[in-house]
């Protein structure tokens, strides 16, 4: 109490009380009350190359990610997460000139030069160098996270997309390369993709080609490889034109390029053909030897039928040093790669100061998702729970809630209808959402300690005691 006997009031409380008094008593000299200005309408839209995923697409997308993560862990890869933002110097100079131009870069509020990650590989290399005492080599890690590239959006290509990467750091042996190819095959098979082809090449083989052409400049080599990489998309005539106009190659050199690119056949035949043009001890012959070892392992693992040698595969990123691969959906001509990767033995050394061998593979969820939609292999879904429990009124709401709890306790996804509504309306919602089972929990069922379960697909209905309901639904949901 203060001296006057009134309770102490804090300045902030007094201010609020004063405001309240003045707000409640209009001024005699004031004019008409001010009207609040109407809220201006903002057009709802997304940036070009970015997209929203509504539940119909997000549910199958999330299930794809869960399947991929299970496969990563089954192969013994541990999870890792890195920041979306990196210091710009971490990212630049690792992807080649073309890749550097596609970086989202800006100054943050502290005036630092930063960039959104372009891929998950360079951040991994930084992590391995930054935590030498905490990471034991060989290091197997996976990461599932979005990346950003300021490129022109196209069919199945976005500026923000999810990558699912797995890498082995610290092994120089071809067993690691073959392991990643095998992982890629099992990732796609686990997603229900049956028709695909992994196309493999080797950067040392391409370097051998450059030596045959007399190319010594790193910049010239990168330009020629970028052009060769476009061959499947633009064809021979256009590729020849670009080699001549953009890369300055003479007709004799162009002829050598296509003599090389036209070596075809089985992996054994291609490797034999390459041995004829590369001398013993040359860098090209080293690539042939390493690629032969990879295919030997894949054949023993009964996977060679899913993998071909494609000498046009060059991979635009400049950090690759060994095997390189891209994966295509057989039934989508011209769609582009849905999974790619390769060996990058020098990238970690940029941060660590010593060479550390590494190899990895990356699956693009968003491109694969769109490809499966085009092939009509993906079922859209609007509900994550296959069971809907009806609620008709306040008198049965508690009973329905108890039933829903028991169903969930049995490990079955269950949605409780969030309002009081007639049965027809709730059945319509279940059909619209693709929910197969509807549990009818009305007053008649409550009086008997039962629930009626309707299979919306078969049109059959059965009364079940609520004590048995969880197991009853679990058996049916798990059997689908």
Report the pLDDT value the prediction gives residue 119, as an integer from 0 to 100.
Answer: 95
> What are the residue ranges in the chain where pLDDT is below 50?
1-30
pTM: 0.83
Report the pLDDT value the prediction gives residue 4, as an integer from 0 to 100.
Answer: 37
Is CATH 2.40.128.260 the right assignment for the domain spanning 387-479? Answer: no
Residues 6 or more apart whose Cβ sits within 8 Å of residue 329: 193, 195, 196, 335, 338, 368, 371, 375
Q: Describe the strand order of the beta sheet including 139-148 as a list of residue ranges.
A: 78-79, 139-148, 160-169, 358-364, 339-343, 323-329, 196-202, 307-309
Report the pLDDT value the prediction gives residue 221, as an integer from 0 to 100.
Answer: 86
Report the pLDDT value the prediction gives residue 8, as an integer from 0 to 100.
Answer: 39
Question: Could you read off the pLDDT of 130-181 as tens digits, one per residue?
Answer: 999 999 999 999 999 999 999 998 887 899 999 999 999 999 999 999 999 9
Is CATH 3.30.930.10 the right assignment for the domain spanning 55-374? Answer: yes
Report the pLDDT value the prediction gives residue 134, as an integer from 0 to 100.
Answer: 96
Which tokens go with 398?
A: 């508690």
CA distance 201 to 326: 9
Report the pLDDT value the prediction gives residue 24, as an integer from 0 to 100.
Answer: 38
Residues 6 or more apart whose Cβ sits within 8 Å of residue 77: 140, 141, 142, 166
Residues of the chain with CATH 3.40.50.800: 387-479
Residues of the chain with CATH 3.30.930.10: 55-374
């Amino acid at each position: 109490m203060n001296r006057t006997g009134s309770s102490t009031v804090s300045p902030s409380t007094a201010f609020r009380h004063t405001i309240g008094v003045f707000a409640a008593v209009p001024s005699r000299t004031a004019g008409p009350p001010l009207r609040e200005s109407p809220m201006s309408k903002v057009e709802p839209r997304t940036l070009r190359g970015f997209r929203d995923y509504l539940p119909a697409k997000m549910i199958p997308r999330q299930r794809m990610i869960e399947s991929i993560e299970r496969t990563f862990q089954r192969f013994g890869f541990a999870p890792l997460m890195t920041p979306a933002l990196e210091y710009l110097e971490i990212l630049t100079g690792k992807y080649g000139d073309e890749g550097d131009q596609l970086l989202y870069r800006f100054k943050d509020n502290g005036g630092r030069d930063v960039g959104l990650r372009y891929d998950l590989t360079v951040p991994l290399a930084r992590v391995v160098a930054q935590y030498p005492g905490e990471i034991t080599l060989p290091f197997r890690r996976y990461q599932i996270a979005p990346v950003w590239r300021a490129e022109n959006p196209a069919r199945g290509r976005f500026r923000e997309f999810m990558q699912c990467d797995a890498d082995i750091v610290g092994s120089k042996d071809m067993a690691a390369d073959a392991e990643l190819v095998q992982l890629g095959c099992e990732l796609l098979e686990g997603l229900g993709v049956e028709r695909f082809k992994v196309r493999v090449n080797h950067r040392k083989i391409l370097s051998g080609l450059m030596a045959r052409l007399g190319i010594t400049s790193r910049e010239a080599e990168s330009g020629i490889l970028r052009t060769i990489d476009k061959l499947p998309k633009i064809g021979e005539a256009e590729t020849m034109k670009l080699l001549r106009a953009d890369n300055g190659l003479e007709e004799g050199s162009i002829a050598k390029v296509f003599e090389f690119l036209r070596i075809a056949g089985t992996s054994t035949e291609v490797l034999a053909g390459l041995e004829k043009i590369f001398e013993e001890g040359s860098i090209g012959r080293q690539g042939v030897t390493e690629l032969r070892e990879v295919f030997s392992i894949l054949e023993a693992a009964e996977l060679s039928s899913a993998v071909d040698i494609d000498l046009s595969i060059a991979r635009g990123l400049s950090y690759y040093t060994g095997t390189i691969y891209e994966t295509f959906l057989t039934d989508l001509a011209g769609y582009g790669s849905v999974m790619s990767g390769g060996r990058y033995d020098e990238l970690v050394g940029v941060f660590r100061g010593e060479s550390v061998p590494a190899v990895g593979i990356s699956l693009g969820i968003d491109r694969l998702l769109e490809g499966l939609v085009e092939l009509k292999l993906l079922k859209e879904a609007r509900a994550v729970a296959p069971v809907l429990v009806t609620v008709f009124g306040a008198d049965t709401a508690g009973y329905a809630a108890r039933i829903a709890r028991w169903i969930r306790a049995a490990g079955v996804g269950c949605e409780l209808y969030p309002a009081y509504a007639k049965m027809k309306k709730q059945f319509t919602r279940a059909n619209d959402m693709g929910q197969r089972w509807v549990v009818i929990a009305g007053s008649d069922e409550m009086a008997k300690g039962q629930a009626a379960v309707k299979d919306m697909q078969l049109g059959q209905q059965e009364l079940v005691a609520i004590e048995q309901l969880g197991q009853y639904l679990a058996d049916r949901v798990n059997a689908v």
